[in-house]
Amino acid sequence: MRLLTIGAFARAAGLTAKALRVYDDCGLLPPSAVDPHSGYRYYAPEQLDRARLIAALRRAGMPLAEVRAVCALPPPAAAEALDAWWQRVSAHTAARARTVALLVDQLTERGTTMSENTTFRYAARCETGTVRDSNEDVAYAGDTLLAVADGVRGPGGSTASAAAVDALRPLAAADAPAGDLLAALGDAVSRADRAVRAQATDANRPASTLTAIVRRGTRLALVHVGDTRAYLLRGGELSRLTQDHTYVQTLVDQGRLTPAEAGAHPQRALLARALGAGGEVEADLALRTAVPGDRYLLCSDGLAAVVDPGALHAALAGADDPETAVGDLVDLAYAAGAPDNIACVVADLVTT
């Protein structure tokens, strides 16, 4: 059997000789033979598949202990173990990203001097669309609360979305300090989840998405569950503030679908998180710095799923006021066929 030197084997496997020595020392990839006099390591060509798998797993960031476990499994079981590991990594990374975003906003706020005299100028519309014969969406706008909710279609969908938004209404009048705002919003989401679950019957278990912004002075708190969305237009640039909690989005996060493929996937509307569904609700919460001149859009998938981001951007940037922006956005949804209910809220943060 022809053996390869450690240098030749390293080049063929896409590894370094140093890495091979480490994998030998930990028992992950011992050489086929070792010269007893020189100590030189030699590898069999049949070991290349394992070496290349190890190299790929390490490039993906998998720890050595888990690499060892995956390499010990037959291919189908190894694929399942790799997928489970990546789901854990993705969830952890998303949680870290939310923490970093919150810290960035908090640090930005500490270095920013602003007037507390700000208010929302807002407009909201909720339309049935051209295909549906019922409306499960809710759109709400006020000086301190913006919210959209989308009840899962079927019996109880409209009452579920209404209950979700109603649970947040006390925050619109509450005088909680900005520092306590996220905690208050977290409690309100728990109330919303319980309110939606209270609508359940033996024959039906309704659920709802919820995306909302609560304003307290110069701070904004954002809550998000499901596939309703929030966008921010600032300085002419449009950014999306929420991540869809859907089955296809998890596939995109795992690199198994492209965003374009996700948009055409037959299960693109299947929710991974919603109020009233599954176990205890897990909501995304974020605290943001309020800047006069910001324009916020909250909407259901009846708008976001049929109007592309470029058209959303143009409509938001081109409108002189929230009422015009809402009208233009709803018109775009109808021009695209309006196959779903349309909830749309636009609000400008202005100095009084």
Q: What per-residue confidence (pLDDT) applies to 260?
A: 65
**Hey, what are 89's tokens?**
């990594």
Q: Measure the CA angle with vertex 229, ends 127 and 295; round to 5°.
A: 90
Share of the chain above pLDDT 90, in %: 56
Q: What per-residue confidence (pLDDT) applies to 113? A: 45
CA 302 and chain centroid, separation: 18
Residue-wise pLDDT for 194-246, tens only, equals: 888 888 777 778 899 999 999 987 788 999 999 999 999 999 999 999 999 88
Predicted TM-score (pTM) above 0.85: no
Average pLDDT value over all residues in the chain: 86
Q: Which of 84-93, 218-227, 256-265, 338-347 has the highest mean pLDDT?
A: 338-347
> How far is it, in rounded angstroms, from Cα 350 to Cα 221?
17
What pLDDT, on the 0 to 100 scale, is given for residue 107? 64
Q: Could you please state the CATH topology (level 3) that the domain comprising 4-71 is classified under.
A: Multidrug-efflux Transporter Regulator; Chain: A; Domain 2 (1.10.1660)
pLDDT top residue among 162 and 281: 162
In the predicted model, is pLDDT for residue 108 greater than 60?
no
Predicted confidence band of residue 114 (pLDDT cuts 50, 70, 90): very low
Going from the C-alpha of 184 to that of each of 148, 188, 254, the distances in angstroms are: 19, 6, 33
pLDDT of residue 183: 81
For 255-267, give the DSSP string: TSS-HHHHHT-TT
- 115-351, superfamily in CATH? PPM-type phosphatase domain (3.60.40.10)
Integer CA distances (angstroms), 307 to 10, 47, 60, 104, 312, in order: 51, 52, 35, 30, 7
In terms of Cα–Cα distance, which of 232, 231, 226, 230 is closest to 249?
Answer: 226
Query: What is the residue type of 305?
Result: A
